[in-house]
Amino acid sequence: MSAKLIDGKAFAAELRARVAATAAELKAAHGITPGLAVVLVGEDPASAVYVRNKNKAAREAGFRSFDIRHPDTLSKDALLGQIAKLNADVSVNGILVQMPLPKQINPARIIAAIDPLKDVDGLHPVNAGRLMSGENGMNHGLVACTPFGCMMLIKDALGENLSGMNAIVIGRSNLVGKPVAQLLLQENCTVTMAHSRTKDLPALCRRADILVAAIGRAEMVRGDWIKQGATIIDVGINRIEGADGSVRLRGDVAFAEAEQIAGAITPVPGGVGPMTIACLMRNTLVASALQAGLDQPKI
């Protein structure tokens, strides 16, 4: 029997619709229109596409959209000055600096300069620390968008109660691996963090009720690594060039093998990817409410 396909594209569309509806209610009740500023430094083609999609999603949600572009020669101090202006601008509720940045700019320094209340990427050390302490999570605060989206898809597949389930997270990045592990811990899962130095990774994976793959290696997780009926969240997006020059997208999980064993699985594309922008819109709405001293919207 094939696994249930977790349709991230459809879920993201529903989430974005809820965000737009809640934003309209916020404006009607309090006169607040969320504002999202996306800063792009340089002309990386992939980054330009991501920025365009984020700005489009913001406008569709009824937000103010601030599209800020700089050449790749921009200095660190100039970018810090730009962020300081956005921090002080009350019409801007969310600030996102598109990565990667040019080599002369340290991304950690830039992330740390963003007001934590406007850090809609959820990567500021304050927000990361609040997640670690349990203060931030699924129902409060700003959490990194991709991990938040992963958790929404997991709960959609398995229900709200994940208590006692075994979960494995393959990959220990600050962007996905570490925060998604913290969110799973908050749901009372027993979490294993795996990485490039992990011994006997297949055996560990076979014990997991929930497997999150975020390693950036195409089809590394094979079908025989997976526990019967497990829920698989594939965060990987790997571009594989064929002999004819065509490019195919592949996840970190061997999908054709895994879907014969898993209970539910995200495809690539159309799984986790669409959730990232949807959760960015959710975070921007939450940030605008919190900055106005309102309760966090339930979305």
Catalytic residues: 54, 98, 121
Side-chain-side CA neighbours of residue 191 (13 Å)? 21
Could you give the CA distance from residue 244 to residue 71 in angstroms, rounded to a whole number?
Answer: 34
Give the CA distances from residue 243 to residues 218, 240, 246, 247, in Å, rounded to whole numbers and listed in that order.
Answer: 17, 10, 7, 9
SS3 call for 57: helix
**CB-based contact 60:20 (threshold 8 Å):** yes
SS3 call for 210: strand
Could you give the CA distance from residue 195 to residue 231 in angstroms, rounded to a whole number?
Answer: 19
Could you give the CA distance from residue 86 to residue 82 in angstroms, rounded to a whole number?
Answer: 6
Sequence-ordered list of residues with C-beta below 8 angstroms from that of 25, at least 6 positions apart, any chain: none
ω into residue 107 within 30 of 0, thus cis?
no
Structure tokens at 106: 């340290």
Residue 169: name the closest of 234, 228, 104 by CA.
234
Structure tokens at 108: 């950690």
Could you give the CA distance from residue 65 to residue 52 in angstroms, rounded to a whole number?
Answer: 11
